[in-house]
Amino acid sequence: MCSLFIQMRGRGIYMIRGLSSTNPSPPPPPSKFIFKDGVNKDVKVMDKPETVFHHYERNFITASRATKDFLLAPDDLNGLRRTIRRSPNEHDPPLSVYWRKDVAAKSIQKWGSIENLEKALESRNLAEEEESVSKNRLMGPISKLIKKRRADKKSISRENWPVRNLCAEGGLYGSSGRVVLIAVGINTSNFLLKLGAWIATGSYALFSEAIHSLADTCNQIILAYGIHKSIEMPTVGHPYGYSNMQYVSSLISGTGIFCLGSGLSIYHGISGIFASSELTSLPIAVAVLSCSFVSEGFTLVLAIKSIKNSASKVDMGFLEYVMGGYEPSVNVVLLEDVVAVMGVAIAAGAMSLSVKTGSHIPDAVGSITIGVLLGCVASFMIHSNINALVGR
């Protein structure tokens, strides 16, 4: 049956016809309606036009989606109908989109049939999967390290403080403690030998090496105290224990290297550029540098061996273990010995150039170079230990 609804606006009349779900009856004849002015007029009931749309008739698609989903080139979209639609993001400009049915028809026209299009899409997906597999093989170790670091970040919380779970078992009698104590003894001997050689030769580079050995000795004494303190049991005043004392002592050690070792070496080298002096007793200097090279190399080997053993226990690589600062005291010994071995080579080369050229400039530049190396190592030590202390 029909139902009529009449709405008046001003002097006009709008009639809306609604159809029920049963078979509609034929249109009724014109009706009579009496207006306010008393005039009778025929009112014709108008049928609502019916429009049929396909499910994608008014669906739209962007150019990027059209080229990707239908394997079309940008030139294939030329000539297709376009319209403007509002962007989902209110801050972005309007989007230029195509009718999806036009894009689908163009794709079928290009590929010949839907079956050919599906085969092309399947081939493309297989190629992308093969490329992804090859990339994973190439980037596998790197991605594994990144995932491990992310997992470590998620597992870090205040409840499992200290962050790095330092193993202070044995204290000074453990592997880290033995390495530090051996380094203290060797660097003390090197300082005395280099000091005597500097007094005998007047070399600026030897002075830097003597200061370097003195700084190493003082810093390693601080490290030994940190290792000794770290094995103390937690108390009411320190409920988290003292294991992070190793980071504190390493931080102090790095600051001492930067100020004492690097600062004095650079200052003495700059002073040597403007104040010439003649090198004497070179055989003594060569003998001292040779002994220092051997002794520093020995402690360097001990530090490398200790770090490798510790890293293998936690299934980590050598560089990852060092860069993460998981054994700060041995890291300090390792870095100091690396710079010490390099410093001996630099001092020997600088002295040789000064003797060969008769100029004091190479010797002074060698002192400055050693100071710069010490500064770089100290900066890394300060940075890594601060990160550990703040819970990174």
| 3-state SS, residue 391 | coil
- CATH annotation of 167-389: 1.20.1510.10
User: 239-297: per-residue pLDDT in tens?
Assistant: 777 777 888 888 888 887 777 778 878 887 888 888 766 666 677 778 888 888 888 88
Contact 224, 181 (CB under 8 A): yes
Q: How far apart are CA 52 and CA 55, in angstroms?
A: 10
pTM assigned to the model: 0.50
Residue with tokens 């001997």: 189
Determine the Cα–Cα distance for residues 276 and 364; give it in Å rounded to an integer: 9
DSSP-derived 3-state class of residue 90: coil
- pLDDT tens track of the chain, all 392 residues? 343 333 333 433 333 344 334 444 555 555 454 555 555 555 555 554 443 434 445 588 888 888 888 888 888 888 888 888 887 777 778 888 888 888 888 888 888 888 888 888 888 888 888 887 777 776 666 666 676 766 665 544 434 444 455 554 566 777 778 888 888 888 898 889 888 888 888 877 778 778 878 877 887 888 888 888 888 887 777 777 777 788 888 888 888 777 777 887 888 788 888 876 666 667 777 888 888 888 888 888 888 888 888 888 878 888 888 877 777 777 878 887 888 888 888 888 888 888 888 888 888 888 899 889 888 888 888 888 787 777 65
Structure-token match 């002073």, residue found: 271
Cβ neighbors of 226 (< 8 A, separation 6 or more) are 245, 246, 247, 248, 249, 250, 329
The C-alpha R_g of the chain, in whole angstroms, comes to 42
Please check whether residue 304 is in contact with residue 334, taking contact to mean a CB–CB distance below 8 angstroms.
yes
Residue in the structure block whose two tokens are 């550029």: 273
**Both tokens of residue 390?**
């703040």
Q: How far apart are CA 340 and CA 213, in angstroms?
A: 8
Q: Where are the beta strands (DSSP E) in 140-262?
A: none
Burial zone of 204 (CB within 10 Å; 0-12 exposed, 13-18 middle, 19+ buried): buried
How many Cβ atoms sit within 10 Å of the Cβ of residue 338? 16
Residues forming beta bridges with residue 9, ordered by sequence position:
12
pLDDT 10s digits, 325-373 = 777 777 878 887 888 888 888 888 888 888 888 888 888 888 899 889 8
Tokens 């050690």 sit at which residue? Answer: 253
